[in-house]
Structure 1
Amino acid sequence: MPIPAGLTEDEDVRAMLRGSQLRKIRSHTWQKERLYQLQEDGLSVWFQRRFRHAPSRHIFLVQHIEAVRQGHQSEGLRRFGASFPPARCLTITFRGRRKNLDLVARSAEEAQCWARGLDKLRVRLEAMSQRERLDQYPSWDPATCPGPGADSNQDSKMSFKEIKSLLCMVNVDMNDMYAYRLFKECDRSGDERLEGTEIEEFVRRLLKRPELEELFCKFSGEDHVLSAPELLEFLEAQGEAGATLAHARQLIQTYELHETAKHHELMTLDGFMMYLLSPEGAALDPAHTCVFQDMGQPLTHYFISSSHNTYLTDSQIGGLSSTEAYVRAFAQGCRCVELDCWEGPGGEPVIYHGHTLTSKILFRDVVQAVRDHAFKLSPYPVILSLENHCGLEQQAVMAHHLRTILGDMLVTEALGAQDPKELPSPEQLKGRVLVKGKKLPGSWGEDGRPVSDREEEEDGEAVGAAQRRTPSQSGSQAGQISPELSALAVYCCATRLQTLPPSPGPAQPCQVSSLSERKARKFLREAGNSFVRHSACQLTRVYPLGLRVNSANYSPQEMWNAGCQLVALNFQTPGYEMDLNTGRFLVNGRCGYVLKPPCLRQLDTAFDPGCPGPPNTTLTIQVLTAQQLPKLNAEKPSSIVDPLVRVEIHGVPADCAQKETSHVLNNGFNPSWGQTLRFLLRAPELALVRFVVEDYDATSPNDFVGQFTLPLSSLQQGYRHIHLLSKDGAPLSPATLFVHVCVQQS
């Protein structure tokens, strides 16, 4: 699919098509020039590199770009590119775990050209219809194919053998007789070769969606077009109670491709398919993609996206610490980040995972990253969770950096009453940074000792307290806090929670308890309702056991069930746990704050996640088809997936369940199931639904293909497409599932 006409005349895009020699920066010594060139499809960028004197060409996809930053705005360029003028520097950051691409252009104009051009292409890609993405799918993918398409002799014509290679490339093992019949029907010239429009017709017929055609005919009648009233009838059958005739007309004007049909307020099959593949036809309620919840309630009433060991990019034993990890966390909507603060050389505190081989970064550099990136995605408050291992002098330095770098962003005093009855709201704290740490004087634990904000010392799961102290913390300074740092703990004062009383005492909204996952599970098991009540009136933070040396995660769902607001995960570690976190905070504009259900906000609630009551909701999901699932082994043309679909429910223990379809042999392009999965739920307001596609294997564990997770309360009913994500959260467009969803209350 070529670049749209509106962009072909754009000077920036044309310059990118010609290509540029850009210097890639990795270190002081590794700095090499590469040719970077936008491809004709406008979806990918080639770059050239050499291995043992042989040129090698690779690509990155525009859809995988998270952001383009100009100047010395990455840690890599600040450290290794300082000798180059900022105007010539740019950083491309990617979704998922792919490393940043730090580049230096030969001129400021060239750097700006690439930054502007990539932004234009990203905007275009976001606006591109799903049908356009589908149409470009079977074309040559330079990342996986050795030559243009499957055209082995590059004569712009394709034999049946070459067509079969094309089918393998797009992940379908089609029956030879059916494929040859389709080939012959498209071979208008009769020369046993397809070319030009014949190849386009073959692809178009391959893309046919019989299940959508059947659904369309059910509502369109004999004239095979949908009038606005007929489209309204379909919307009502979908369960869209608020649908109106005006809305049906608006959908026709938005998604219909044919001007004549649009003029007569009619929708053809093409327009119907475009609508169902659009965000409005997707599983996620489009109204929930913006901030739609009440943001004026106390902070305690929200789940807050939270990170553990935020500074790490990999393992907590020997991984790299980087300010870029904070930037990535903020780009994923994280609102609570952790800073492990230790004594550093030259009087400057550093951040790293103490007593390990992880690298160290300056505390002040992290604070600068907070200032520059914390509010780019979300305007709502950020909490800095300090794990303080510094002596009094460097604590004072920490306080100085926080005040001078953050300035008015930093909350240094209460907004109103000095002894508030409840915390301020996210709305009141827009653009502000809160410090979570130890407070003096009068900050005493239940056992009469000063409260520490060092998590591992509280619960003793990682390393003993004596081993973790620095020399400056021995003797009288152990566990002390400087007045300068203490003054910054305004609304998030660290406090120890050893036991849960049967009934809550006086409200202490400014206290925050940090619990290991083990202690949180113990409270859930022994006093579920008391734990819920505790988290209804003050913030609770949960973090992974220190014994998880590989930076693995626990399931956040069980902690959300208890109303814990700050459920901290290792954002650098992909897996189903991070899928759940992404799904939980996918809604409400991805702002990092999601309002808890009423049963978790009421101070006198009787809710206990272990005893949620009888089932009151039935979720029925009919798994119909999938479209263009990615190949798992691009190097092996004969490798075709055998897909199955699993639907998982993550909620209170009684609701947790998973069911799956059978597998379809040798078809990742358009597999069909038509199987129904049914779930009974007791606490639907807490449930997350996770759709997973796997490649079936009879002799070993199935391979992951893609997934999508969202709250049940944001799942639209009716016929919906699920737009799949990769293991690290990048879009797998145009890979989708097509399902029918029904939610019934008893």
Structure 2
Amino acid sequence: MSKTIAFEIIQKYEPIEEVRKAHQMSLEGFTRYMNSRECLLFKNECRKVYQDMSHPLSDYFISSSHNTYLVSDQLLGPSDLWGYVSALVKGCRCLEIDCWDGAQNEPVVYHGYTLTSKLLFKTVIQAIQKYAFMTSDYPVVLSLENHCSTAQQEVMADNLQATFGESLLSDMLDDFPDTLPSPEALKFKILVKNKKIGTLKETRERKGSDKRGKVEEWEEEVADLEEEEEEEEDKFKESEVFESVLGDNQDKETGVKKLPGVMLFKKKKTRKLKIALALSDLVIYTKAEKFKSFQHSRLYQQFNENNSIGETQARKLSKLRVALNFQTPGLPMDLQNGKFLDNGGSGYILKPQFLRESKSYFNPSNIKEGMPITLTIRLISGIQLPLTHSSSNKGDSLVIIEVFGVPNDQMKQQTRVIKKNAFSPRWNETFTFIIHVPELALIRFVVESQGLIAGNEFLGQYTLPLLCMNKGYRRVPLFSRMGESLEPASLFVYVWYVR
């Protein structure tokens, strides 16, 4: 810490004038500083939108959710508007809406072929409209998993236009006729991701022609995006889960599960879907196309087309997860939340240069270029760590520091266990990490209580991007599994990194 910064901190937080004039700090002053935002590990600069937001959408990592309407399990749990509200408040910018035909010509949202409850489509988008830009000004993508008939798709199109009005992007931007717009150009806009009939140019020409009165009658038969082979594998795994829960009481001819008062059908393979032109015309820069291969996409994919890849296939192609169930706590959501703390929590993070270049030779499994960062973390102490369900206020505490990034950077190190002191444990242990691709690295602090029989018990965690870490003496706040602040529980560390 420089002398200038130290002087400013003393002047700001030291309450005793004599001590302040002597350029020193009392215990009270130090405590005030420790509890301030300035002492936090996370950089203040990263709390605001500081990145260049004028690149095309494809140049950004976008915070995305899967089955956003669910708030518990994916088979029997309720669908709830809170799923969308919660995701938006957390900065999520891509929401999934599973749409099915409902009664009285009203489309509904739920996890198809399961016992999850149903929401009206119009109620879902009304909730989205209310909270869409509460956390971030940048565009929200509605990813429609569309299983509706053309008649109810037309209802969906009417609902979208009536609910979002001018916020709904329903035509190309004049400055972006053949390239993807930027997040900046799409501020406060809602984009619809769905299958589309024809090209953007054909859509604009048709809208401007004399055929307006016939538009609602047009439709086209296309392959249903959700029914890719990879997704089918995941879906039938869910059916297997039902079988293990409900037993083998099945009608051999119909394939229907039979329980008292319950009938559960196995998943169907719907291979074709008709798209209503009214809904198709609302798809502009986010046209859904089936993924075939990276080579095929490089050769043929248009600027406004994007792919949804089933997780089974995605795991074969990449180590990264791109759309998560926000209602499911755990490591994946910790990493998601930590990653998108950056850039003001806007839900858009500019990719490193080596991921934005069309002819990039970057290989995460074989890093040959660049200067690695040497990260040093001295884990000094903790304060008021959360109590476990099984212990008194004298828990046996330990801390695990993990690095997530490219394969060569993955590492974790652990402190010794401090016995019977969860209130103010002191470790004073130093750990060193060599990080080859700091632009993609996340650092995660996990606090556990040692358990000899049932294993260690999770107490709290904090995850953030390496390049958003302040140097020097810093406080690390802790969060629960559900992402709730555990203040005043925290760790005290000294951080230094050099290239």
TM-score by length of 1: 0.58
Between the aligned residues of both structures, percent identity stands at 43
Structure 1 match to 2:216? none
Say whether residues 1:607 and 2:362 are aligned partners. Answer: yes
Match of 1:616 among 363, 366, 372: 372
Match of 1:571 among 299, 305, 326: 326
Residue pairs, 1:665-680, within 5 angstroms? 665-680=419-434
Q: State the one-letter code of the partner of 1:515.
A: I
User: Is 1:387–1:455's contact at 8 Å kept on the other side of the alignment?
Assistant: no
Structure 2 match to 1:481? 275
Residue pairs, 1:346-425, within 5 angstroms? 346-416=104-174, 419-421=177-179, 423-425=180-182
Which digits, 9 at most, give the CA deviation of each residue in 1:288-310, with x for residues without a partner?
11111111111111111111000
Say whether residues 1:743 and 2:494 are aligned partners. Answer: no
Distance 1:322 1:676, change over 3 A: same
Say whether residues 1:696 and 2:468 are aligned partners. Answer: no
User: Is 2:393–2:423's contact at 8 Å kept on the other side of the alignment?
Assistant: no
Structure 2 match to 1:452? 224
How far apart are the structure 2 equivalents of 1:641 and 1:497? Answer: 50
Structure 2 match to 1:431? 188
User: Is 1:439–1:489's contact at 8 Å kept on the other side of the alignment?
Assistant: yes
Match of 2:306 among 512, 516, 521: 512
- 1:624, distance to aligned residue in structure 2 (A): 1.0
- 1:518, distance to aligned residue in structure 2 (A): 2.1
Aligned to 2:63, the other structure's residue is in SS state: strand
How far apart are the structure 1 equivalents of 2:340 and 2:486? Answer: 20
Structure 2 match to 1:632? 388
Alignment length (residue pairs): 451
User: Is 1:693–1:704's contact at 8 Å kept on the other side of the alignment?
Assistant: yes
How far apart are the structure 2 equivalents of 1:612 and 1:516? Answer: 27
Structure 1 match to 2:459? 705
Alignment RMSD (CA, Å): 2.5
Structure 2 match to 1:156? none
- 1:265, distance to aligned residue in structure 2 (A): 6.5
Distance 1:509 1:366, change over 3 A: same
Aligned to 2:222, the other structure's residue is in SS state: coil
Highest RCO, 1 vs 2 (Cα 8 Å, sep ≥ 6): 2
- 1:669, distance to aligned residue in structure 2 (A): 0.8
Residue pairs, 1:95-174, within 5 angstroms? none
Say whether residues 1:308 and 2:66 are aligned partners. Answer: yes
User: Is 1:309–1:570's contact at 8 Å kept on the other side of the alignment?
Assistant: yes
Match of 2:28 among 227, 250, 270: 270
- 1:267, distance to aligned residue in structure 2 (A): 3.9
- 1:271, distance to aligned residue in structure 2 (A): 1.8
Aligned to 1:654, the other structure's residue is in SS state: helix
How far apart are the structure 1 equivalents of 2:229 and 2:162? Answer: 30
User: Is 1:452–1:495's contact at 8 Å kept on the other side of the alignment?
Assistant: no
Q: State the one-letter code of the partner of 1:363.
A: F
Structure 2 match to 1:559? 320
Structure 2 match to 1:255? 13
How far apart are the structure 2 equivalents of 1:592 and 1:463? Answer: 29
- 1:604, distance to aligned residue in structure 2 (A): 1.4
User: Is 1:456–1:463's contact at 8 Å kept on the other side of the alignment?
Assistant: no
- 1:639, distance to aligned residue in structure 2 (A): 5.4
Q: State the one-letter code of the partner of 1:461.
A: E
- 1:462, distance to aligned residue in structure 2 (A): 3.6
- 1:264, distance to aligned residue in structure 2 (A): 7.4
Structure 1 match to 2:253? none
Aligned to 2:278, the other structure's residue is in SS state: helix
Aligned to 1:710, the other structure's residue is in SS state: strand
Q: State the one-letter code of the partner of 2:135.
A: L
Any stretches of 5+ residues in structure 1 without a counterpart?
A: 1-234, 237-243, 444-448, 525-557, 561-566
Q: State the one-letter code of the partner of 1:496.
A: K
- 1:698, distance to aligned residue in structure 2 (A): 2.4
Q: State the one-letter code of the partner of 1:454.
A: E
Match of 2:413 among 659, 662, 668: 659
Aligned to 1:371, the other structure's residue is in SS state: helix
Distance 1:663 1:265, change over 3 A: closer
User: Is 2:67–2:96's contact at 8 Å kept on the other side of the alignment?
Assistant: yes
Match of 1:685 among 439, 444, 447: 439
How far apart are the structure 2 equivalents of 1:273 and 1:292? Answer: 30
- 1:727, distance to aligned residue in structure 2 (A): 1.1
Say whether residues 1:644 and 2:438 are aligned partners. Answer: no
Aligned to 2:407, the other structure's residue is in SS state: coil
Structure 1 match to 2:203? none
Say whether residues 1:295 and 2:56 are aligned partners. Answer: no
How far apart are the structure 1 equivalents of 2:164 and 2:383? Answer: 48
Which digits, 9 at most, give the CA deviation of each residue in 1:225-280, with x for residues without a partner?
xxxxxxxxxx23xxxxxxx73x5554334322225555777643422332233211
Residue pairs, 1:28-107, within 5 angstroms? none
Larger radius of gyration: 1
Structure 2 match to 1:492? 286
Distance 1:294 1:395, change over 3 A: same
Structure 1 match to 2:317? 523
TM-score by length of 2: 0.85
Match of 1:327 among 85, 110, 114: 85
Aligned to 2:225, the other structure's residue is in SS state: coil
How far apart are the structure 2 equivalents of 1:365 and 1:457? Answer: 32
How far apart are the structure 2 equivalents of 1:613 and 1:273? Answer: 45
Structure 2 match to 1:461? 233
- 1:720, distance to aligned residue in structure 2 (A): 1.1
User: Is 1:455–1:514's contact at 8 Å kept on the other side of the alignment?
Assistant: no
Which digits, 9 at most, give the CA deviation of each residue in 1:489-528, with x for residues without a partner?
100000111122199336622111001222123224xxxx
How far apart are the structure 2 equivalents of 1:378 and 1:287? Answer: 17
User: Is 1:452–1:458's contact at 8 Å kept on the other side of the alignment?
Assistant: no
Aligned to 1:325, the other structure's residue is in SS state: helix
User: Is 2:393–2:421's contact at 8 Å kept on the other side of the alignment?
Assistant: no
How far apart are the structure 2 equivalents of 1:292 and 1:442? Answer: 35
How far apart are the structure 2 equivalents of 1:419 and 1:450? Answer: 25
How far apart are the structure 1 equivalents of 2:329 and 2:89? Answer: 16
How far apart are the structure 2 equivalents of 1:493 and 1:296? Answer: 21
- 1:468, distance to aligned residue in structure 2 (A): 5.5
User: Is 1:644–1:660's contact at 8 Å kept on the other side of the alignment?
Assistant: yes
Say whether residues 1:597 and 2:369 are aligned partners. Answer: no
Q: State the one-letter code of the partner of 1:662.
A: R
